[in-house]
Structure 1
């Protein structure tokens, strides 16, 4: 069976998706405060993270700071549940806009990926100590739903 990475169109498909998503996040009044004016490298980092998670190249871990970088950028953000839910909503809407595959198994994997990841980010954004962080310490590998 092909990976989620390949099914999504590889790097180009995910880059298009993340670019649409990031543009929508920066334009959203609820999420904009978390992202400020944006960072030029964010689209590349999020694309690399998603690619690696979906079974693509490990560039995020090998060259972009890996999971410790993700923990660091979320700490102190104090993400609200409303912001987390809006993030998921915009993520799934971007999948439609960017033309990612619409088959149910892929969309189920995409939704479970962003739901899980956004909950990890929510927890880490409130962690005052390392013990309060989510226990995940490496980029997870996401696969097709069972």
Structure 2
């Protein structure tokens, strides 16, 4: 997972469509996203226990006003990184990844536009994803 995130992250920083969301990046982002995705896909609860859990993700997206084209680019770049880094290509693995990316980016988009807590996506904790 770390290799995948480390391959993907520079692509979003360099992408003109996504750079406004990510800026010049943060050195800890790769480790934090690795911990988050590890937890999502059944690994240890490091993100929740040590890195702020869902409230930290919510705060990171608040006010970003993510657009549909940015959401799709994020997904496309992540899937391309999965190919480059040799993530298993079997249908179960790739379907789970695609389904989670669809769900996760939907949550991020909705929360990035929320102006009140009532506008937030109902998912309020790190999801555990099994496809």
Q: Is the TM value for this pair above 0.5?
A: yes
1:70 to 57, 69, 89: 57
Tell me the CA shift for residue 120 of structure 1: 0.3
Structure 2 matches for 1:17-96, cutoff 5 A?
Answer: 17-96=4-83
Tell me the CA shift for residue 127 of structure 1: 0.2
- TM-score w.r.t. structure 1 length? 0.88
- TM-score w.r.t. structure 2 length? 0.98
Runs ≥4 residues deviating over 2 A: none
Task: Calculate the aligned-residue CA RMSD, in Å.
Answer: 0.6
List gaps (5 residues or longer) in structure 1: 1-13
Q: How many residues align?
A: 131
Matched, 1:142 2:129: yes
Deviations 1:41-61 (A, max 9, x none): 110110000000000011000
Partner of 1:126: 113
Tell me the CA shift for residue 27 of structure 1: 1.1
